[in-house]
Amino acid sequence: MPTGSANLSEATRRSILLLSFATFASMVAQRICDAMLPELSRVFTVELSQAARVIWVFAVVYGLAQLIYGPLGDRLGKFRVVTFATLACSIGSMTAVFATSLEWLVLSRVMVALGAAAIIPLSLAWIGDAVAPDQVQETLARVGLGTTLGVGAGQLLGGLLTDWLGWRWVFGFMTLLFSLVGLQLYAHARRQHNSTSTPVSEPSRQAIAFGAQALRIVTDDWSRTVLLVAFIEGAAGFGVLAMWASHLHRVLGLSLSSSGAIVALYGLGGMLYMAVARPLIRRFGERGLALLGVCLLALSALLVAYSPYWPPTVAASFFGGFGFFMFHNTMQANATQMAPGARGTAVSLFAAALFMGQSLGALLAANLIDRIGSTAVIALGGGVVLLLGVFFAHALRRRAQLLDPT
């Protein structure tokens, strides 16, 4: 087992790079429709809450599909499953290009979600297998550059391409992106298979029935805590985030391009955290990162919600992303260590909780906006995340005391 990134083989480093590209594409697909909602509402002549189906239905399917991909990755090989799932996403994206109704577009998003569901959780689980436990959080932070860049790129490209070329071009771009990444993954896997090097991914020889794996995980007190926090994080963090661009467009009168560009800074803030994660992890530890992260995010959400002018929302979006990924990276690291013997299943359950929470959060946020306004919804999301971070930091301290009473 490697003890640090310097000891990783060239094949492993190449695998991690390609998985980062795949997680980038997956996250772009998740966030690409956020800034498009007002335009989809106009084109298909529906309310914003109905147009939001392209987001929350995607998240529901993404979450439920984890129940399949966890054990599938443990049996067939995580890298292999990620490869074919990425190629499958290109097919779903292509069908979205030709959508003539909102129902057709939602169905296409379902097809993409079924493939994208495998990419991030199995990539994280693969890293958990390939990297020593004491290096997991730092490695995840580096790999997370692809994910965080995807958050910003999805928000930005969704607005820009919709304004400049039309919404169909958005999905044309996604077709090309998934195709290129998927083919690179496939070529790399074939090269490793045909060489004398260790394969990029090996099916677990200790894999057991998914039901038994899942039962063992959800009956553990700490695993239940991590999954519950992930669910609420998805609802109050990712779910409400989907409404930020629409808020800037409808309340502050910005164009879709400008709104998407501002919210794209959320991902840029996350990238900065990933770049400086190593000293921060060592300086503050898990509890410190959780608390500082949610405080930054809550303050940023309040500023986005109540600012009467757009310039302050630029800084708010950037630092909100920095704070969110401080917290989220801590959650990811704990998820990869919930059940080392069934890591694929454990991380998939984590992802299922996260994205089922996101689907509920996006659905509730879209409907509450019509009732109480986007200002109150965004502020409420920030408050919930703050309370969640305080709870999780307390849980981490209690767990540390139980593991080391001295």
- Name residue 366's amino acid: A
Nearest CA among 293, 281, 284 for reference residue 322: 293
Summarize pLDDT for 130-188 with one digit per residue, the tens: 666 666 666 666 666 777 777 778 878 888 888 888 889 999 999 999 999 999 998 88
Nearest-10 crossing angle of helices 136-164, 256-306: 120
C-beta of residue 303 within 8 angstroms of C-beta of residue 323: no
Instruction: Determine if the pTM surpasses 0.75.
Output: no
Summarize pLDDT for 297-318 with one digit per residue, the tens: 999 999 999 999 889 999 998 9
Q: pLDDT value at position 344?
A: 66
Q: Which residues contact 400 (CB under 8 A, 6 or more apart)?
A: none
Work out the pLDDT band at 406, boundaries 50, 70, 90. low
Q: pLDDT value at position 206?
A: 45
**Rounded to whole angstroms, how far apart are CA atoms 200 and 219?**
32
* Average confidence (pLDDT) over 100-104: 92
Q: pLDDT value at position 211?
A: 64
**Rounded to whole angstroms, how far apart are CA atoms 333 and 347?**
10
Instruction: Give me the chain's average pLDDT, please.
Output: 81
- Name residue 162's amino acid: T
CATH superfamily label, 8-195+207-403: MFS general substrate transporter like domains (1.20.1250.20)
Burial 216-228 (b: 16+ CB within 10 A, else e): bbeeeebbebbbb
Q: Which residues contact 102 (CB under 8 A, 6 or more apart)?
A: 40, 44, 46, 50, 51, 53, 54
**Dihedral angle at the C-alpha atoms of 192, 194, 198, 203, nearest 10 degrees?**
90
Largest CA distance in the chain: 65
What are the boundaries of each domain within the chain?
A: 8-195+207-403
Q: Is the pLDDT of residue 1 over 50?
A: no
Between residues 201 and 67, which one has the greater pLDDT? 67
Distance from chain centroid for Cα 68: 18
Work out the pLDDT band at 374, boundaries 50, 70, 90. confident
Q: Which residues contact 110 (CB under 8 A, 6 or more apart)?
A: 57, 58, 61, 92
Q: 């199995």: which residue's tokens?
A: 122
Distance from chain centroid for Cα 358: 10
SS3 content of the chain, % helix, strand, coil (to 5): 85, 0, 15
Tokens of 398: 């209690």
**Rounded to whole angstroms, how far apart are CA atoms 192 and 126?**
16
**Rounded to whole angstroms, how far apart are CA atoms 231 and 240?**
13
Q: pLDDT value at position 318?
A: 92
Q: pLDDT value at position 135?
A: 63
